[in-house]
Amino acid sequence: MTGPRNFIKVIDSTGSSRRFKATIDPEGEGAGRESHRKEEIKQYFRSFLWSLIFTTPVFLTSMVFMYIPGIKHGLDTKVVNMLTIGEVIRWVLSTPVQFIIGRRFYTGSYKALRHGSANMDVLIALGTNAAYFYSVYTVIRAASSPDFEGTDFFETSAMLISFILLGKYLEVLAKGKTSEAIAKLMNLAPETAILLSLDEEGNVISEEEIDSRLIQKNDIIKIIPGAKVASDGFVLWGQSHINESMITGEARPVAKRKGDTVIGGTVNENGVLHIKATKVGSESALAQIVRLVESAQMAKAPVQKFADRISKYFVPLVIMLSFSTWLAWFLAGKLHGYPESWIPSSMDSFELALQFGISVMVIACPCALGLATPTAVMVGTGVGASLGVLIKDGQALEGAHKVNCIVFDKTGTLTVGKPVVVNTRLLKNMVLHEFYELVAATEVNSEHPLTKAIIEYAKKFREDEENPAWPEARDFVSITGHGVKAIVRNKEVIVGNKSLMLENNIVIPVDAQDMLTETESMAQTGILVSIDGEVKGVLAISDPVKPGAQEVISILKSMNVRSIMVTGDNWRTASSIASYAVAMVGDGINDSPALLAADVGMAIGAGTDIAIEAADIVLMKSNLDDVITAIHLSRKTFSRIRLNYIWALGYNILGIPIAAGALFPSTGFRLPPWIAGAAMAASSVSVVCCSLLLKNYERPKKLENLEIGGIQIE
């Protein structure tokens, strides 16, 4: 089998390793994304730090030192005409903040406007430029005029940029935590693995520690106690218990022995195992889960369209409101529409109006609206993955919270999906193990799902043999939907339902009829066995109901979710549930069309086969209580999204009028632009933090007392 390990060995064997060395890229796709996120955090932190270094003296010279007589006198010293040392210092220090540190806002504005839209960067660029260039105007006027007295707003532009960069830093820091689920999943893979070399007889020749990324299909890997399983595969030798909670959410360690499958990234609890790798690299269950969670976090939920529609008109509306605010206050001042006592001593009516206009522009926050849905979806899908509930996209998450009707596929979903023989009644004097010899020999060539149950039960009478050889069956015939017949030991054996017996003119005794009626009343399948034209016995086969199924249905009822069981296509049932938001729960084997047709399709018991295309939500375990977890988690996520929208809209609806000076006439309270900018940054951070609270999600308490234990058949 060819793989990366072979390529590296071939390259090294050519002798070219003196010039260069072949190795696996340490920065894989996932690692690259993680390093990009860390670099983004570093960039914002560095930008904020440099901004703070320049902004602090600007703030001190304009807001603090003016109240210290000695320093104030020095700052008020004239340089040229009315231009003071303080104004020069503020101009020099705020310029790099505006154009070097704050260049990202110009770049973002240009890109947005080039594509015919406006974003938060446009508002920041307009607001800070208005403050900065008006201040430059006052500096030029002061330097050229012996009697000009004006106020600069260099501290406004510098502090605005500093607070917004702080907000952005906190935002990317918090957003990074929303994708922690992916990072944790990626860290499950062990760094190294022990590769075994075997001889032709299967004996271990040598052991070699290799990079786990160099594992190839069909490699034999040794897993020691306490180590992580290095690859998906199956057990060749040994037995142990493996903790699969990090992949499937299953709390209890799972027993593993020869032939059992194992999942890469899980932890070996005790014994030593030798496994054969079957799925490596991007094919592994862990890699598929990471891809699925990543795509879910990138996909837009339909509810996001609401924010997109608002954002489309938000920025132009804010610019218009900002200009209207400035114009209204400016005209009111010029026309003496308010007392002159309202104007601060350091300003005139134009500057007061400019402050209100800039405050409106920078307090408005479309970012909070834009972050409301994706951050909650990212956290919600990550939490789901840690619980073994894989939600494929935002649409599935949104659909699940609306579900008020669940259709359960019976076989393999409400039931275990493994039929077993629960009763045998012999109608004639016959030894039980001889009876099952004939039945098993007849059934062994059949592919019917019930065949395995009969064969497994028959093996109990041949406990001394692991794979017993059954007597030869001649003239085997399978009658679809009815049963099978064959000649075994010169006896004609027919195994099947009542119709098959009647077709072969076999009389069904009253005792057999009574037992068939009894089995059907207990939701079991009755099978008749005829030997040489005479019914000799009746088998009762049952597919046991999963433990906890009844309690799960009861809990769903308390959540106002209707539950329906289907065992086949039923038009009347389909018509009756057409008006509901329907979730279909199946095992993904024979119910893919139904999973696709439902509003939300849930595949249960997927195990390592998490790439079930038909399902919107994949439940890794076979526990029905995960259906409740999926619906409950989606409801919690969407209540968080609603809360985010209420906060984001409420903040803008209240904040913009206050920034425009709605409270100023009655209370004298106004928001300086730098405080408005800080409020805007805080609003985005608060939305992200609100979404992060979903990380504390706990399953419904009712599920904690729900016993999903083993199955006992009598």
Closest alpha carbon to 629 in 385, 426, 418: 385
Whether residue 331 is contained in a domain is answered as no
User: Which residue do the tokens 């073994």 mark?
Assistant: 388
507 or 712, greater pLDDT: 507
156 or 117, greater pLDDT: 156
147 included as an active-site residue? no
| Res. 329: pLDDT tops 90 | yes
| Res. 11: pLDDT tops 80 | no
Domain end point (choices 231, 252, 286): 286
Residue 104 sits in the same domain as residue 240? no
708 or 161, greater pLDDT: 161
pLDDT at 178: 66
Percent of the chain residues past pLDDT 70, beyond the cut: 89
Whether residue 185 is contained in a domain is answered as no
Domain that holds residue 99: 24-178
| Res. 25: pLDDT tops 70 | no
pLDDT at 310: 81
Residue 172 sits in the same domain as residue 197? no
Mean pLDDT of 625-645: 91
pLDDT tens digits for range 293-320: 777 767 777 887 877 788 778 888 988 9
Residue 520 sits in the same domain as residue 442? yes
Domain end point (choices 141, 156, 178): 178
Residue 93 sits in the same domain as residue 206? no
Question: Which CATH number fits the domain that encloses residue 451?
Answer: 3.40.1110.10
pTM over 0.85: no
DSSP 413: I
Mean pLDDT of the chain: 84
CB 483 within 8 A of CB 527: yes
For 182-251, what is the HEC assignment?
HHHHHCCCCCEEEEEEECCCCCEEEEEEEEHHHCCCCCEEEECCCCECCCEEEEEECCEEEECHHHHCCC
Whether residue 83 is contained in a domain is answered as yes
CB 399 within 8 A of CB 616: yes
711 or 353, greater pLDDT: 353
For 219-235, what is the HEC assignment?
CEEEECCCCECCCEEEE
| Res. 418: pLDDT tops 90 | no
pLDDT tens digits for range 672-707: 888 888 888 888 888 888 988 998 998 887 776 655
From 121, 219, 232, 409, active-site residue: 409
Residue 30 sits in the same domain as residue 174? yes
Whether residue 669 is contained in a domain is answered as no
Whether residue 634 is contained in a domain is answered as no
Task: Calculate the alpha carbon distances from 606 to 382, 586, 587, 622, 628 in Å.
Answer: 18, 10, 7, 8, 17
| Res. 29: pLDDT tops 60 | no
Beta bridge partners of 603: 586, 618
Residue 28 sits in the same domain as residue 174? yes
pLDDT at 507: 92
Mean pLDDT of 434-447: 89
pLDDT at 714: 24
pLDDT at 539: 93
Lowest mean pLDDT among 238-252, 583-597, 647-661: 583-597
Lowest mean pLDDT among 414-418, 420-424, 630-634, 643-647: 414-418
Which are the contacts of 312, defined by CB distance < 8 A and separation ≥ 6?
117
Residue 40 sits in the same domain as residue 172? yes
CA gap 444, 438 in Å, rounded: 10
pLDDT at 576: 57
Whether residue 519 is contained in a domain is answered as yes
pLDDT at 713: 27
Residue 66 sits in the same domain as residue 172? yes
CB 410 within 8 A of CB 569: no
pLDDT at 30: 54
Contacts 24+ apart (CB under 8 A), 326-330: 326/353, 326/354, 326/356, 326/357, 327/353, 328/353, 329/353, 329/356, 329/357, 329/661, 330/354
| Res. 712: pLDDT tops 50 | no
Task: Quickly state the pLDDT bin for 16 (edges 50, 70, 90).
Answer: low
Residue 49 sits in the same domain as residue 154? yes
| Res. 611: pLDDT tops 60 | no
Dihedral of CA atoms 306, 312, 316, 322 in degrees, nearest 10, equals 30
pLDDT at 18: 60
pLDDT at 570: 45
Residue 171 sits in the same domain as residue 80? yes
Q: Which helix (H) or strand (E) segment is 447 a member of?
A: none
Residue 209 sits in the same domain as residue 63? no
pLDDT at 54: 96
444 or 291, greater pLDDT: 444
Percent of the chain residues past pLDDT 90, beyond the cut: 29
Overall number of domains in the chain? 3
CA gap 395, 627 in Å, rounded: 17
Residue 254 sits in the same domain as residue 150? no
- Which tokens belong to 528? 């008749």
pLDDT tens digits for range 67-106: 888 898 899 899 999 999 999 999 999 999 999 999 999 9
Lowest mean pLDDT among 54-58, 61-65, 178-182, 325-329: 178-182
pLDDT at 565: 79
Mean pLDDT of 604-627: 74
Mean pLDDT of 40-51: 93
Question: Which CATH number fits the domain that encloses residue 271?
Answer: 2.70.150.10
pLDDT tens digits for range 484-506: 999 999 999 999 999 899 999 99
pLDDT at 706: 55
User: Which residue do the tokens 């996909």 mark?
Assistant: 299
Whether residue 327 is contained in a domain is answered as no
Whether residue 144 is contained in a domain is answered as yes
Q: In what order do the strands lie in the sheet with 534-542?
A: 420-426, 534-542, 525-531, 491-496, 483-488, 473-479
pLDDT at 60: 93
Mean pLDDT of 431-459: 88
Helices 673-692 and 120-144: crossing angle in degrees, nearest 10, is 160
CA gap 712, 279 in Å, rounded: 34
| Res. 708: pLDDT tops 60 | no
Domain end point (choices 235, 262, 286): 286
| Res. 436: pLDDT tops 70 | yes
> How crowded is residue 491: how many other Cβ atoms within 10 Å of its Cβ?
14
pLDDT at 415: 77
Closest alpha carbon to 241 in 258, 257, 259: 257
